[in-house]
Structure 1
Amino acid sequence: MSTTATQVAEVASPPAILTLRAVADTDRKSEEAEPYRYAHLLPHFSQDHYPPLTPFDHVDPGRRALSHPNPRSFLDNATVVELTPSLGSEVQGVNLAKLDSDARDQLALEVARRGLVVFKDQAEFIDRGPEFYREWGRHFGRLHIHPTSGHPDGFPEIHLVYRDANSTFNFEVDDSITTTVWHSDVSYELQPPGLTTLFLLAQPTTGGDTLFTSQVSALKKLSPQFIAFLRTLKAVHSGVEQADFSRAGRRGGIVRREPVENVHPVVRVHPVTGEEALYVNRQFTRRIVGLKREESEAILRLLYDHIDKSADNQARVKWQPNTVVLWDNRVTAHSAIVDYKNSGERRHGARITPQAERPVGAEGLDLSAAA
């Protein structure tokens, strides 16, 4: 099953059938005394159905920053600490809510180069609300509407993660000994996301961290001969399992757009930096095109194990209030850590997910499904 991927043109909007209007059932008296500050951003599920996504021309804002005389000038008055040599920076002293267009372009380039950038003290950004979130995201690409996740009522472009003592509206694995599931967001789309923004509106006292890994570094650690072979390969990424998860009544039970499968290079090239990165992930990659099942499984298992175990390619974000995290889905993978279940505390996050270009691999690689 292969379709092109995506913008919503005009869609029917029947009345909402499911809205998470209340917070956790536990301690309701306390909630009534002190209403949840971000109740207007709780997950909402409706019967809206969207047509297939359609291709579009993506112009990466980071490319515009390359011609700037100082493409890091937005950091001139900031404190920047590198989380690891190859992945991630933590920034203090920049107010994201006040960045102009040029500074946002520079931000896109910085995120492309570092893979992950963590901004502290961003209360103004978070409290600007969903209209601002959409305006922010549209600077970086066409906003993706997730086919199965919850969103704030009236703002389907804002993807929400949510778990409390009694409810979860996340795509979570129940039958595994670990909650770590590396992925690049919705990589099954024809034009998957590039620069992505996430922040938490509520977080547990401890736990609920997010792991990131550099797919650029992961690739570089492989032997030159093996990398040369991987450049000749392409793989199928599928949204079917995620849709089936919702059709089974979980996450809200909604599938707004029929799932797609698309073929992407196993090694993709970043359009601005020119860096190569692995582009497979355990959550959405299903098979390597043209190889027999055992061959495909052997290669993917090796790559997944490499991604899972290479702590020297990874960085960990420990969430604090008013933290905003940006990463480039083209050159990183990530995983939530669901280690806070027993606390019964709420973890409520909002993600702004602009789509980017169709992944490009080595010159001459045919990305048709049959080739």
Structure 2
Amino acid sequence: MATTVETITQSLPTLSLRSNTGDGEAPSEEAYRYTHLLPFFSADTYPPLTPFEHVDPAARALTHPNPRSFLDNATSVVELTPRLGTEVRGVNLARLDSTGRDQLALEVARRGLVIFRDQQEFIDSSPEFYLEWGRHFGRLHVHPTSGHPEGFPELHLVYKDANTTFNYELDDSITPTVWHSDVSYELQPPGLTTFFLLAQPTTGGDTLFTSQVSTLKKLSPQFVAFLRTLKAVHSGIEQANFSRTGKRGGVVRRDPVENVHPVVRRHPVTGEEALFVNRQFTRRIVGLKKEESENILNFLFDHIDKSGDNQTRLKWSPNTVAIWDNRVTAHSAILDYGESKERRHGARITPQAERPIPALEGLELVDE
């Protein structure tokens, strides 16, 4: 992506590269296998994102005689819960062809989350491979505030170790668990997203997921009909201000935006309807008075938080790749490993998708 100013390199703060090895030893920086993927922060700035036409690869898989044939050689396919999540073993993501990737997109759209174990070849591939993988599923998003490997701004990194953190962590609450759909403030938020850990604590650092299709279905038909008429503002301003205070690397590469999305959206391929609000980025319901908006949103946020029967928990193990559909799920990191002083280092490949489609046909997505 072209920059609007001459590149200025901002040095990365000193990192304590103490990796958990399972034997209690702390290897030197040179011994850490993924130093080339450590967070880097530059002062590059980027213009606003422009709209684009998204073609969902999952739609191509609908015409295949067996849309799940990419799983034919799997040694294990286990549904983690009835409503959300499948764990797969025996499928090498790095070797999937274009048809297999299309089928994968459809499976993820239908199940919300698919977890692939034993993916060392994928994880140990080059950053160039990561970008080629992601572009199959949409235009790659460049995060406005997070760290990325030097030279690869399209790769979003999470990073925390004994001395540093470059995550969006809020410590003024009794719990750091904050449900969100990634960068939902963008005009065209992400669809199929790929995430993996390069280093992880011995225990803890799990990720929670919830089905926004199921959270919607739990509500009464009358209330859902009302929610379909609503639209809400999603904002990136607080996230940008967090970085402007010097946290998370202290950069804001693109001016923060707010966009209006339907409270209930429809998936373009499966046709399923999903709740599309989240505590991290959704700020107000358009057209309602402050108290009305806050009461409805807080009810929905609490519903998402507490609906354990719509959720699944991913316990990470080495060489795991998680792929989810941001349009029909929400997730939260579990920050319970800080006292261990161990490193948690993850990479996210984030293709954008279509502008959210209202479940209510004809709903105008403009502010009021």
Q: Specify the TM-score bucket, using the shorter chain as the normaliser.
A: over 0.9
Structure 2: where are the runs of 5+ without partners? Answer: none
CA–CA distance in 1 between the matches of 2:29 and 2:329?
A: 42
CA–CA distance in 2 between the matches of 1:247 and 1:343?
A: 28
CA–CA distance in 1 between the matches of 2:155 and 2:268?
A: 25
**TM-score relative to the length of structure 1:** 0.95
Equivalent position amino acid for 1:369 in 2: D
Cα distance, 1:323 vs. partner? 0.1
The answer to whether the aligner puts 1:300 opposite 2:293 as a matched pair is: no
Out of 160, 169, 172, which is 1:172 matched to? 169
CA–CA distance in 1 between the matches of 2:208 and 2:29?
A: 35
Q: Which residue of 1 aligns with 2:8?
A: 15
Contact residue 147 and residue 255 of structure 1 kept, 8 A = yes
Q: Which residue of 1 aligns with 2:362?
A: 364
Cα distance, 1:173 vs. partner? 1.0
Contact residue 265 and residue 367 of structure 1 kept, 8 A = yes
Equivalent position amino acid for 2:39 in 1: P
The answer to whether the aligner puts 1:105 opposite 2:102 as a matched pair is: yes
Contact residue 16 and residue 163 of structure 2 kept, 8 A = no
CA–CA distance in 1 between the matches of 2:99 and 2:148?
A: 29
The answer to whether the aligner puts 1:43 opposite 2:39 as a matched pair is: yes
CA–CA distance in 1 between the matches of 2:45 and 2:209?
A: 32
Deviations 1:96-145 (A, max 9, x none): 00000000000000000000000000000000121100000000000000
Q: Give me the identity figure in percent.
A: 76
Out of 275, 280, 289, which is 1:283 matched to? 280
Cα distance, 1:200 vs. partner? 0.1
Contact residue 17 and residue 32 of structure 2 kept, 8 A = no
Cα distance, 1:11 vs. partner? 4.1
Contact residue 25 and residue 166 of structure 1 kept, 8 A = no
Equivalent position amino acid for 2:361 in 1: E
3-state DSSP of counterpart to 1:213: strand
Out of 122, 125, 143, which is 1:125 matched to? 122
**TM-score relative to the length of structure 2:** 0.96
Deviations 1:236-274 (A, max 9, x none): 000000000000110000000000000000000000000
Deviations 1:150-192 (A, max 9, x none): 0000000000000001100000111011111000000000000
Cα distance, 1:9 vs. partner? 4.2
Out of 240, 243, 248, which is 2:237 matched to? 240
The answer to whether the aligner puts 1:76 opposite 2:72 as a matched pair is: yes
Matches within 5 A, 1:330-341: 330-341=327-338
Q: Which residue of 2 aligns with 1:162?
A: 159
Equivalent position amino acid for 1:32 in 2: S
3-state DSSP of counterpart to 2:248: coil
Deviations 1:294-317 (A, max 9, x none): 000000000000000000000000
Contact residue 15 and residue 164 of structure 2 kept, 8 A = no
Q: Which residue of 2 aligns with 1:351?
A: 348
3-state DSSP of counterpart to 2:247: coil
3-state DSSP of counterpart to 1:211: strand
Contact residue 17 and residue 28 of structure 2 kept, 8 A = no
Contact residue 24 and residue 166 of structure 1 kept, 8 A = no
Cα gap change, 1:33 to 1:232, in 2 (>3 Å): closer
Cα distance, 1:283 vs. partner? 0.1
Equivalent position amino acid for 2:271 in 1: G
3-state DSSP of counterpart to 2:345: strand
CA–CA distance in 2 between the matches of 1:125 and 1:76?
A: 19
CA–CA distance in 1 between the matches of 2:13 and 2:71?
A: 39
Cα distance, 1:31 vs. partner? 3.2
Q: Which residue of 2 aligns with 1:4?
A: none
CA–CA distance in 2 between the matches of 1:307 and 1:369?
A: 25
Cα distance, 1:35 vs. partner? 1.7
Equivalent position amino acid for 1:96 in 2: L
CA–CA distance in 1 between the matches of 2:207 and 2:6?
A: 34
Structure 1: where are the runs of 5+ without partners? Answer: 1-7
Cα gap change, 1:319 to 1:176, in 2 (>3 Å): same
Cα gap change, 1:90 to 1:306, in 2 (>3 Å): same
Contact residue 26 and residue 165 of structure 1 kept, 8 A = no
Alpha carbon RMSD of aligned pairs, Å?
A: 1.5
CA–CA distance in 2 between the matches of 1:101 and 1:33?
A: 37
3-state DSSP of counterpart to 1:227: helix
Out of 41, 49, 52, which is 1:56 matched to? 52
3-state DSSP of counterpart to 2:11: strand
Contact residue 18 and residue 29 of structure 2 kept, 8 A = no
3-state DSSP of counterpart to 1:31: coil
Equivalent position amino acid for 2:308 in 1: A
Cα gap change, 1:13 to 1:135, in 2 (>3 Å): farther
Equivalent position amino acid for 1:77 in 2: N
CA–CA distance in 1 between the matches of 2:329 and 2:11?
A: 33
Deviations 1:72-113 (A, max 9, x none): 000011120000001000000100000000000000000000
